Every structure is written in structure tokens, then in C-alpha cells.
Chains A and B, each alone.
Chain A
Amino acid sequence: MDIEDDTTVFSTLKSFKSFISLPDTSRNQREPAPVQSHVLQNQYLQRLQLLEAAEKVQSKTQLIQMDQEKRQMEISHKRARIELEKNATLSARDFEREVDRNQDLLGRIRRLEEREAESSQSLSEKAEANRALHRTLESLNRRVEERDGWLNTSNQVSLGLKDEIRDLKQQVQTRDNTISNQTLENQGLQEQVEIPLKGVCVCVSSPPKELERKLALQEQDVVIVKNMRSEVARVPDMDKELRQLREENVYLRETRENVILLKEETEGLRRKVERMEKMKEEMVNVELEKEKLSQKLQAWENLGQSTGLNIRTPEDLSREVIQIQQREIAVKQHNYTLTSSCRSVERSKADLQGELLSLRSKSLEEQKKRETQESLVRRLQKRVLLLTKERDGMRAILESYDSELSSSDYTPQLSRRLREAEDVLTKTQNHNTEMEVGRRSMELELEVMKKQQDSVAEGNPLATNEEVNTLRLKIEELEGERQRLEEQNNVLELRLERHNLQGDYNPVKTKVLHFSLNPTSMAKQQRVEEVEALRAEVECLRERLRSLQTGGAIPLAAAAGETSLSLPPSQEVLDLRKQMETAELKNQRLKEVFQRKIQEFRTVCYVLTGYQIDITTENQYRLTSVYAEHMDDSLLFKSSGGAVGSGGSMQLMETDFSRTLREMVDLHLHHQKSIPAFLSAVTLDLFSRQTTV
């Protein structure tokens, strides 16, 4: 309600503000003093109103809280209802499941009962079968006994038949005897017959013709009688044979009949025997079956002992089976109930989890809503504050209107009140904007800066010119610096590039590796080793030299001693040594040869020229004649200027001997200027002195 009033007041204030917007500042300056008392009153009134407003706000908040609680209650009610419905559905489902289970169990019970009946039937059938087997056994036994009896009778029959056979045989024998007796009688009779025949024959022979005829007739008759006789003779035999044959026939027929009978009997006996054997086998089988059945029976009977239950009859067994099945059923029931309860529990758990999630989400939503509502509440509170302030201002205006009914101009007072209201409004609005600007401080500053710049640029041209100049100078300086730095950068880059080309690197990031046994180090090492080896060789050679200079025998020892230091005697050294030895030999030989030749030449010269020429010192020659009187008599010649053969002159030097030869010297050397003449003159002189003296 208040809010709507505040909104209307707000709109009127805005219209007033727009009407009196321009001369705001001037009016503020004009009337500070009379406003103060009003301001205090207004402030007091404002405070009272603020308190009332606070109370109202409180009541509003309480209302809002109540609303929220109500909504929460509704929500909880709804939740409870939903839960109850769910529980109801679950219980209905459970009930249905229980019913189904019940039916299943009933069906199972029926099936089990049927099975029971079947099993009992089978049991009874088996019992009957057992009995039938017993009966068959008994019948078989009886048959066996019968057959035994038959066997006995047949045996007896056979015995009887055998006796009969014996009797028959005896009869046959008796008949044979009779036959033999009769044959004997036949023979006797035959003899008797023959005698009369003979008498007949003698009587008949009286008339010759008739006699002959009668003879012939008699002969014929004789022949005929003979024939007859033979025939008659044959007759008893024939009779015998007949009788024998007949007897044999009879006998054979009898025997044949007997034989037939016997055969039949034997066949019958054989069959009987076969049957008996079969019966025996069957009996054996039946006995086996009987044993098996008895074993089975025993096993069935022993069930009771083996299972530990009190079973003696199949009924007990069936009872036990029934009991076990019942137990099984019970256990299965229990199992099914457990599984079903477990499943239901799982389902309920899942449902509850789902509910939990939904409730959590709902609670989050509720929280968010609550927060939004709290923010709304805050905003509303702020609004309320603002509106109360506005309302205070309006009230102040209205009171001023009510209090001041004088004829003074309304317009300045109105305007003043309006200004006050506007001030309050602006203050609240500023407060509001500051509250909002708290978040966008940076942008406002920027905008303010921009506004300032714009205002400064438009409003104060003098200030901006100076600033612009300073900024331009700064910019130029910075530009110059930048160019300088760029050049520096380029230079440094070039240097870096150069260094990189030369092989420089950043020790922080890179390091230089090389193989330890690299050719340079190996070459250096080799060099060092060569140098050292050379130095050692040099030292050794120097020592050798020194030793060579000191003595000839020593170098051998030294060389022997220095074999460790000096180089080993190579082939070259040996060759050189050999060469050296040969050269020395050559030298020596040459020297000897030269010596001989020189000696020879000197003697030849001495002999031919008569002077022995000796070289005393450089370019001085002493000649001693063959015919010299004293050993010291010699002539000294000196050659001057280079070699003697190439134009150097010979000069005679003063000696004791040459003083004695002054005349010859003057003549030959000074006048004739011929040394050979002088020398020959001296020789002749001395020779003459020699020979004469």
C-alpha cells in the first residue's frame, strides 16, 4: 500500500524536478539561513518518520518471513504427501508381489504333492515289482525242480530202455541159435533126401533104347536131378538164409523200432538236457538277480543305518523324503523372502537416494530463492528508505503548505520546498548511485576522466594547451629514446650475431663438450713427446761428441755405457762405421803411397839436380848441395807474392854459404837473372872442389 503511494509521490517529484531543474544552484546559494530551522524541524520529523518506516519495514519483513514459512510448510506438506503416496505405491507393489509369491508357492506345493504321490506310486510299483520278482523266482525254482524230476524220470527211462535193449539182444542171440539148429536139421534132411535119389537112378537103366532113351532121359533127369539136387541142396540153405533173413529182418525191424525209439528218447533227452542247461543258466542269472535284488533290498534297508534315520520300510523313506522336501521348501521360501526383502530394500534405497538428490536440488533452489528474496528484501528496504525520505520531504512540503498560509508568494516557498525535496531526492539518488557505483568504480573513473578531458578540452582551452604541449614534448622525448633504444638493439643484435658466428655461447644455457681423445690433443701430445725425444737424443749425442773429443778408447766405453741413453746402433750406424774404417784405411794407404812417392821424388831430384830442397818455413826453401863441404852449407830462397808457379819471384837469402859464392850470385842472379844457371854453377864449382880435393 505504502509502496503505491510512494510511487505516486515519486512521479510528482520527478515532474517538479524537471520543471525546476535549471536555476538549482542559484537558489541553493540564496537561501541558506531560513532553511536551517526548517531543516532541523524536518530532520526531527524525518527521524520520527524513519522510525515509523522502520517499524513498517519490520512488519513487512515479518510478513515476508511468514509468507516464506508458509511456503516452506506447504512444500514440506507436499513432500510428506508425495512420500506417503510413494510409500503407498511401494506397499501396494509389495502386496502384489506377496500375492504373486503366494500363488507361486501354492503352485509349487501342488507340484510337490503331485511329485509325492508319484513317488509313492513308484514306490508301490517297485514293491509290487519286487514281489513279482519273488514270485517269478519261486516259479523258476519250481520249474527247476520239475525239470530235475523230469531228468530223473528220463534217466530211469533210459535205464529201462537199456535193459530192454539187453533183453532184445539176448533174444536175438537165442534166435540165432535156433537158426543155427535149424540149419543143422536142414542139412540132415538134405542128406536123407540124397540117398533115395541115388537109388532112383540105379533102377532106371534096363532097356538099351529105352534104356538109352531112358538113359538120355535119365541123364537128362540126372542132370535135372543134379540141378534139382543142387537146387534142393540150395533150398535148405535158402531156407536157412530165408529164416536168417526173416529173423534178421524181424530183428532189424525191432532194432529199428528200438533204434527209432531210442533216438527219439535220446533226442528228447538231449532237448531236456539242453533245457536243463538253459534252466541252469537262467537259474544262475535269476540267482544273480536275486542276489542283486537282495543287495538292493539290503541297501534300501540299510539306508536307515547309513543315513542315520529310522528307516526300515519304504514308507519311512518316503516320509523322510517328504520331510526333506518340506525343509527344502521352507528354506527356499526363506531364501526368496530374503532376496525379495533385499531387493525391496535396494529399491527403497535407490528411491530414497533419488529423493535425496531431488530434495537437495530443491533445497538449493530454495536457498537461491531465499537469497534472491533476501536481496529483494534489501532492495525493498533501500527503496523504502528512499521513499520514506521522499515522503518526508513531501510531508515537509505539505506541512509547510499547511503552516504557512500567509499571503506571501507561494512560488518562492514552493520553489524552496521543492528544492529541499529535490536536495533530499538528489542525496538519496546519489547515495543509491554511489552504492551501485561501488562495483563499477574503475569505469566511472574512466568516464569521469573522459568527461573531465572533454569538459576540459571544451571548457578550459588555456589549461589543455599547456598540458598538450607538455604531453607532446614527452611523446617526442619518448620517441627519440625509443629510436635510440632500437638502434642500440640492432647494434647489439649484430654483435650477438657476430659473436654467435664466432662461436660465443651463453654459459647459463649451453656448455661445450669435446671428446677426450681428440686429434688435436693427441697431436699436441705427440709433439711434446717428439720434442722430448729429440731433446733426449740431442743430449745423448752431445755427450757422445764430448766423449769422442776426449778420447778414442773412451767413446767405446762411453758408448757402451751410454747405450741406454744413445740411440740403439742401427744398420746405418754400422754401415757408416764400416765406411769410416775403410775411409781411414784408404787414407792411411794414400798417406803411405804419397809418402813413398814424395820420398822417391825428392831422392830423384836430389840425385838428378844435386840439391836437396827442404821447406823450412812458409815460402822459404833451403837447398843443400850433394857436393857440399859442410852439412850446414845451404842456400835459402824465399818466394814472394803468391804461389811460386803463378809468377812469384824467388829471392836468395843471405847465408854463410851464400857469402862465399858472391861472385856467382852477382853473375848469375844479378846479371843473368837465372837461378838454374846459378845453381848449376854452384854445383859445378862444388863438384870441381870435391874432385880436386
Chain B
Amino acid sequence: MTSTLKGITLKGSAELVAEFFSFGINSILYQRGIYPPETFSRVTQYDMSLQLTTDTKLKSYLTNVVSQLKEWLFDCTVQKLVLVITCLETNEVLERWQFDIECDKSAKEISAPREKSIKSIQDEIRSVIRQITATVTFLPLLETSCAFDLLVYTDKDLEVPDKWEESGPQIIDQSEEVRLRSFTTSIHKVNSMVTYKRTDSA
């Protein structure tokens, strides 16, 4: 863990952000009920209790994506991470959880660690995850069975690794957008927002 080091390096920042994504995605999946709650187990992270999936297939998928994401964060080639929730019956996109990543490219050249305490970063991450949990109150219910997908917006010239392919942006038509909190590690800044399909009853 980077908690023993004094400053934040590019590598440490990439690890922190990847870790946040791993836990954040798990929280969203639990809160939105994409997977049954009995497949999640409670863990403690960022001084709060979070849910982590125990499904092996899902775990392996998440580790694959997060590890590749960590590499891209280290190279500062990733721009956004989007969690798309699709209804399986109608093949419509119902929700989009979008995380914009702004990378300070000067950290790549200058290898000196930046002054930002791990605790403050963790506090910011905690507030973001709390807000994600709170947004569930106003989001429309997902009554049909849904599946999720993770999209990564990267630089155009990036070499596509195997097992990855290009896809569309999966944009929702008739959507409502809500901007959520952001956090920064002084090298990477992550802005969160959620977009959901406007329900006709509202």
C-alpha cells in the first residue's frame, strides 16, 4: 500500500484510482441489484463497509478490466470509464455511470512524488462512494433483469490489447444527467456523473 510512502507517485495514484473503481463498481452493482445481494460479501475499505462480489466469473472479469485500467492510468491514455446498465429484454441502455479521468501528464516526466496525504484522498473517495449510494434513492427502479458493461474511453492512437474491442458509446436517448462529486490524487482527477433514462411517469 502507498500509505507508508510520503508522497503520491504516478504509479501510486494509478493504483489508488484503480482501487476506487474496483470498489465503486462493486457498490453500484450491489446497489442497483444487477446481481443478487447474497452473492456479495461485506468488506471494510476507506473506513466504511462496502460490498464486494464473490461470484468468480464476475471477479475475474473485474480484475482483468481493472488491471488493464491501471496500466492505462499509468500511461495517462484513459479519458473516461463508463459503467453501462442494459435491460436484457429490450436491449435498451437504462443507466450510465460515467467517470471522467483527467491526468496531469507532467507527472510522467517529473518522477518526484506529489504532496497529498492518502487520508485526504481516502476521505474524498469515501464521500464519492457515499454519494453514489445516496443517488439510488432518486434513480428509477430497475425492474427487469439487467446486465452491465464497462466501457473505457481512451486516446485514439492507443493500441487495442487482445480481449478488448471497440464499441459504441451506448448513449441513452431521453436522459437525465446528474453530476456527482469528484476526487483528485493531485495527479489524476476523477469526476463522477450518472445518466439515467427518463421515465415517462416523471
- In the assembled complex, the Cα of A501 lies from the Cα of B96 at a distance in Å of 9
Q: Which residue of B lies closest to A518 (CB)?
A: B149
Q: How many residues of A are in contact with the other chain, CB < 8 A?
A: 26
> Contacts A504-B169, A516-B163; is A510 near B156 (CB within 8 Å)?
yes
Residue pair A505, B165 in contact (C-beta under 8 Å)? no
Residue of A513, A518, A523 touching B160 (CB-CB under 8 A)? A513
Inter-chain contact total with CB atoms closer than 8 Å: 102
Q: Is B138 an interface residue (CB 8 A)?
A: no
Main SS class of interface, B: strand
Q: Is B170 an interface residue (CB 8 A)?
A: yes
Q: Is A498 an interface residue (CB 8 A)?
A: yes
> Contacts A501-B193, A502-B177, A503-B171; is A512 near B156 (CB within 8 Å)?
no
Residue pair A514, B150 in contact (C-beta under 8 Å)? yes
**CB within 8 Å of B: which of A503-544?**
503-505, 507-524, 527
- In the assembled complex, the Cα of A132 lies from the Cα of B88 at a distance in Å of 128
**CB within 8 Å of A: which of B32-69?**
58, 61, 64-65
Distance of A309 from chain B, by nearest CB (Å): 77
**CB within 8 Å of A: which of B138-177?**
145, 147-156, 158, 160, 163-172, 175, 177
Contact with A along B183-202 (1 / 0, CB 8 A): 00000000001010000000
- In the assembled complex, the Cα of A514 lies from the Cα of B61 at a distance in Å of 11
Q: Which residue of A lies closest to B64 (CB)?
A: A515
- In the assembled complex, the Cα of A521 lies from the Cα of B86 at a distance in Å of 10
Residue pair B61, A505 in contact (C-beta under 8 Å)? no
Residue pair A513, B88 in contact (C-beta under 8 Å)? no
**Using Cβ atoms and an 8 Å threshold, which residues of chain A touch B153?**
505, 510-513
- In the assembled complex, the Cα of A586 lies from the Cα of B154 at a distance in Å of 73
- In the assembled complex, the Cα of A464 lies from the Cα of B152 at a distance in Å of 63
Residue pair A502, B61 in contact (C-beta under 8 Å)? no
Q: How many residues of B are in contact with the other chain, CB < 8 A?
A: 42
Q: Which residue of B lies closest to A499 (CB)?
A: B171
- In the assembled complex, the Cα of A521 lies from the Cα of B150 at a distance in Å of 11
Residue of A501, A516, A518 touching B195 (CB-CB under 8 A)? A501
Residue pair B169, A512 in contact (C-beta under 8 Å)? yes
Q: List 27 A-B contacts (CB under 8 A).
A: A501-B193, A502-B171, A503-B80, A503-B96, A503-B171, A503-B195, A505-B79, A505-B80, A510-B153, A510-B155, A511-B156, A512-B151, A512-B154, A512-B167, A513-B154, A513-B164, A514-B152, A515-B61, A518-B61, A518-B149, A519-B58, A519-B61, A520-B86, A520-B148, A522-B147, A523-B147, A524-B88
**6 residue pairs, one from A and one from B, having the closest CB atoms:** A523-B147, A501-B177, A520-B147, A520-B149, A518-B149, A514-B167
What is the interface of chain B, defined by CB distance below 8 A to chain A? 58, 61, 64-65, 79-80, 82, 84, 86, 88, 91, 96, 98, 100, 145, 147-156, 158, 160, 163-172, 175, 177, 179, 193, 195
